[in-house]
């Protein structure tokens, strides 16, 4: 890591220090993953658009917080500057907007979902691949979704973006064969985070209704699995991990829907 990262002296990176990058770490699964990896001894570089949250998380876990918008090439370039060696990249930034049927698709929402989930993952991976290879045992974790496995009514903007994001990740698994990089796709079901709040444009009541009457996962449930994945030895590649609450059997079938 070069001085361009502006790292305070107490955070300078020792040669043996393992480094993890987590995108979308200002809430939910990303924030919990940053905490879990920091607890396991990683220096965690956290990024998202809400810099206030990123800064206080970085302070709390002894990591490095930087503004990051994965839809903006310049923001990504500034975020990765000086990261010459990275052990773990968690492509987590993403989400859904809206629940319109295809016949009423809102293009702005579709563009947001595709740019954040799909192109964001491609850009972050491309930017950090040399640093991951340089570590000698890199790991790319991409948080897709059960929406990368299934179709459901009124979800095509999100399911198509998550399918595409997953295919970027799964293609990398093929293209990087022989390189010292492992790839793990995490496919969560219902996790109570800010996900539904974002999907419903800030409507708290509608968001709460998604999780009413069942026990969803919490962000830490997913984060613990990501940290476990990172703790495996270099020859072990966990390719795909689907994590759902017991109360959920498929993307749209759960104990409240019957
Ligand atoms: P969340 O609490 O809304 O977190 C989403 C994170 O992504 C936030 O930190 C947000 O930060 C960040 N983000 C959004 N746009 C970004 C951008 N352009 N650049 C950088 N960061 C951006 O939701 P979550 O559930 O933790 O979601 C994390 C991932 O899990 C997403 O990829 C989501 O699709 C996936 N997932 C969630 C669920 C679920 O039920 N919750 C299920 C399956 C998969 P800023 O707004 O500060 O930028």
Tokens representing 109 are 């929402």
pTM, rounded to two decimals:
0.96
Ligand 1 and 193: CB distance under 6 A? yes
Exposure class string for 155-190: b at 16+ Cβ within 10 A, else e: bbbbbbbbbbbbebbbebbeebeeeebbbbbbbbbb
Contact 160, 167 (CB under 8 A): no
Nearest CA to ligand 1 atom 46: 49
Predicted local distance difference test score (pLDDT) of residue 3: 38
User: What is the CA(79)–ligand 1 centre distance, in A?
Assistant: 18
Chain Cα centroid distance, residue 2: 25
If 0-12 CB within 10 Å is exposed, 13-18 middle and 19+ buried, where does residue 235 land?
Answer: exposed
Ligand 1 and 125: CB distance under 6 A? no
Contact 127, 170 (CB under 8 A): no
Predicted local distance difference test score (pLDDT) of residue 196: 97
Predicted local distance difference test score (pLDDT) of residue 5: 54
- Give catalytic residues, as residue numbers: 158
Ligand 1 and 198: CB distance under 6 A? yes
Predicted local distance difference test score (pLDDT) of residue 11: 56
User: What is the CA(94)–ligand 1 centre distance, in A?
Assistant: 4
User: What is the CA(33)–ligand 1 centre distance, in A?
Assistant: 12
Mean pLDDT, consecutive 10-residue stretches, the chain (258 aa), reads 50 78 99 98 98 98 98 98 98 98 98 98 98 98 98 98 98 98 98 98 97 97 98 98 98 94
Predicted local distance difference test score (pLDDT) of residue 4: 44
Atom of ligand 1 nearest to the CA of 25: 9
């Amino acid at each position: 890591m070069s001085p361009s990262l502006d790292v305070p002296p107490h955070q300078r990176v020792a040669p043996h220090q393992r480094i993890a990058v987590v995108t979308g770490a200002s809430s939910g699964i990303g924030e919990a993953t940053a905490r879990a990896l920091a607890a396991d001894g990683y220096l965690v570089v956290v990024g998202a658009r809400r810099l206030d949250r990123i800064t206080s998380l970085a302070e709390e876990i002894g990591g490095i917080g930087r503004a990051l918008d994965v839809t903006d090439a310049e923001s990504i370039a500034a975020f990765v500057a000086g990261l010459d060696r990275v052990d773990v990249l968690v492509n987590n930034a993403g989400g859904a907007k809206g629940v319109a049927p295809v016949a009423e698709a809102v293009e702005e929402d579709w563009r947001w979902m595709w740019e954040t989930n799909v192109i964001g993952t491609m850009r972050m991976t491309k930017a950090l691949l040399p640093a991951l290879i340089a570590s000698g045992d890199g790991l790319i974790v991409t948080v897709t979704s059960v929406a990368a496995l299934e179709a459901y009514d009124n979800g095509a903007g999100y399911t198509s973006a998550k399918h595409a994001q997953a295919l970027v990740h799964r293609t990398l698994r093929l293209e990087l064969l022989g390189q010292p990089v492992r790839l793990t796709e995490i496919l969560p079901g219902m996790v109570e985070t800010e996900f539904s709040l974002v999907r419903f444009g800030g409507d708290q009541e509608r968001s709460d209704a998604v999780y009413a009457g069942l026990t969803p996962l919490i962000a830490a449930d997913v984060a613990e699995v990501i940290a476990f994945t990172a703790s495996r030895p270099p020859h072990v590649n966990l390719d795909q991990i689907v994590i759902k609450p017991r109360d959920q059997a498929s993307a749209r079938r759960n104990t409240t829907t019957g």
